[in-house]
Amino acid sequence: MALREIKHYKKDACLRKKSKVVEKFDDKLKLIIEDMIDTMYQADGVGLAAPQIGILRRIIVMDVGEGPVVLINPEFTRQTGEEEDSEGCLSVPGLRGMVKRPVDVEVKGKNSKGEEIMLNGKGLLARAFCHEIDHLDGVLFIDKVVPGTLEG
């Protein structure tokens, strides 16, 4: 188990950069994924994107209480509904705010072996997908927060 330092929105410019597509599905990628999952659990988070540990690659991990989910090069194939709920971020410690997100999403991407996969997320998992995929484009939840709802 290897924990990585979680980058902070006020100190680390990497959180505002666009991540690159993963092309090599090798042992190095598997190690990054393992470290991301360990770091997410240690920090008691429900999701983590690679730029949050300073790696500008399109990798996300999540666990909303149903076991770890890993997705590489994720792309939305469907987003339906809209729901406002409270959100926070490990890179924005101490702050929470309301964000509108779709209630049901379908996302395609690759697993750690490079195989095409399609995943479905509802409710909290849909929210986690949206939040983590935003990280891959340098977007933070504070950019989308409903005005006047940011607290901390």
- Annotated catalytic residues are 132
The set of long-range contacts for 42-46, using a CB threshold of 8 Å and a minimum separation of 24, is: 42/3, 43/6, 43/90, 45/90, 46/124, 46/128
What is the binding site for Co ion (CB under 5 A)? 89
Q: Output the smallest distance, CB 37 to Co ion, in A.
A: 15
Q: Output the smallest distance, CB 15 to Co ion, in A.
A: 9
Q: Output the smallest distance, CB 89 to Co ion, in A.
A: 3
Closest CB to Co ion belongs to which residue?
89
Q: 94: alpha, beta or left, given left = phi > 0 and alpha = psi -120 to 50? A: left
Q: Which is nearer to Co ion, 70 or 89 (CB)?
A: 89
CB neighbours of 54 closer than 8 A, spacing ≥ 6?
A: 4, 5, 7, 12, 14
Looking at the chain, how many residues does it have?
152
